[in-house]
Amino acid sequence: MILTVTANPALDVSYRVDRLRPGHTHRIGAVFERAGGKGFNVSRVLHDQGIPTRALGPVGGILGDSLRADLLDAGLPHDLLPVAAATRMTIAVVADEATMFNEPGGPLSALDWSRLQDLVGSYLPRTEVLVCSGSLPLDAPDSSYADFVSLAAAHGVPTVVDVGGAPLRAAAEAGVAIVKPNAEELAAAVGEGDPLTGARQLHSLGAGAVVVSLGPDGLLAVTADGEWRATLPQPVVGNPTGAGDAAVAALADGLRRDLPWPDRLRLAVTWAGAAVAAPVAGSVDPDVLTELHDQVTITAL
């Protein structure tokens, strides 16, 4: 079973507009809401693929109730921790491109963090891979995900972390199995703009493998077994939101099955591409999966 932790869930609200015009009033037609948070998206992808998973995270307030209801509707296995801080909202205004407004997320108390640790700990004996994904709430310690890495390691469970900046660096130093930052998140962690150099730095800090998502340019991986680029011949057209989460889901599944690295990267690029082709984050298009799988090029660096 792959356990996911989303430290800073959100109710994701989407508005479709013809064009975003700063300074104007936009009358919205349909409103689309769903439980948001990168770990939830990872679990959705795994669940869709028939891979056992459970999604954990703190929720509070009235939007927390909506989030819980959405996970129930989706039939996604979950265990949400009630906390005092109200669950935040993100707004996506979607025209040709998406414009995002991300609320910060209320702070968790030290007791909340300790209860979340206990909740994660209670599942670790049944867990093959732990995934910690997405931003941290306001005022969270940089070590928040690193602490889960250590907790999981004490149970012999490897962890995949998808976050940026100082919390990413802390996870690497805690000996995380795999990190999956994008280029910007990586640069914020190591202060190095070149993805390959930055990935090598993060690897040398203690991360078992560093997989950098480069959007339409695919993935770059620095691992103990070697270094690779994984690319598609042409970018997939669609909605890139959730592509990184699909890649994380694939990396977690590849880790669980102990696949060779080139196979893990092929899977990750395939799932990410299929997620771009799917209309909403957290789902992958099965027809596209089959089509893309043979198109991935893996190049040793």
Task: Catalog residues that contact a second copy under the rule CB under 8 A.
Answer: 13, 15, 17, 20-29, 31, 62-63, 65-66, 88-89, 91, 93, 95, 97-104
The pair of three-digit structure tokens given for residue 249, joined into one six-digit string: 């889901």
How far is 117 from 170, CA to CA, in rounded Å?
17
Residues 6 or more apart in contact with residue 103 via CB below 8 angstroms: 10, 88, 89, 90
Residue among 125, 115, 121, 153 nearest 1 (CA): 125
The pair of three-digit structure tokens given for residue 2, joined into one six-digit string: 């792959």
Residue among 213, 153, 148, 152 nearest 179 (CA): 213
Residue with smaller CB distance to a second copy, 79 or 103: 103
Residue with smaller CB distance to a second copy, 2 or 163: 163
Residue with smaller CB distance to a second copy, 157 or 187: 187
What is the DSSP-derived secondary structure letter of residue 137? P
How far is 229 from 207, CA to CA, in rounded Å?
18
Q: Closest distance between a second copy and the C-beta of residue 166, in Å? A: 15
Q: How far apart are the first and last CA of the chain?
A: 33
- Determine contact, residues 133/161, Cβ cutoff 8 Å: yes
Residue with smaller CB distance to a second copy, 92 or 171: 92
Residue with smaller CB distance to a second copy, 90 or 295: 90
Residue with smaller CB distance to a second copy, 208 or 240: 240
Residue 300 bridge partners (DSSP):
228
Q: Closest distance between a second copy and the C-beta of residue 204, in Å? A: 30
Q: Closest distance between a second copy and the C-beta of residue 22, in Å? A: 5
Residue with smaller CB distance to a second copy, 61 or 262: 61
Q: Closest distance between a second copy and the C-beta of residue 58, in Å? A: 18
Q: Closest distance between a second copy and the C-beta of residue 90, in Å? A: 9
Q: Closest distance between a second copy and the C-beta of residue 96, in Å? A: 8
- Determine contact, residues 199/220, Cβ cutoff 8 Å: yes
Q: Closest distance between a second copy and the C-beta of residue 100, in Å? A: 4
The pair of three-digit structure tokens given for residue 263, joined into one six-digit string: 């196979």
The pair of three-digit structure tokens given for residue 76, joined into one six-digit string: 């996604």
- Determine contact, residues 290/272, Cβ cutoff 8 Å: no
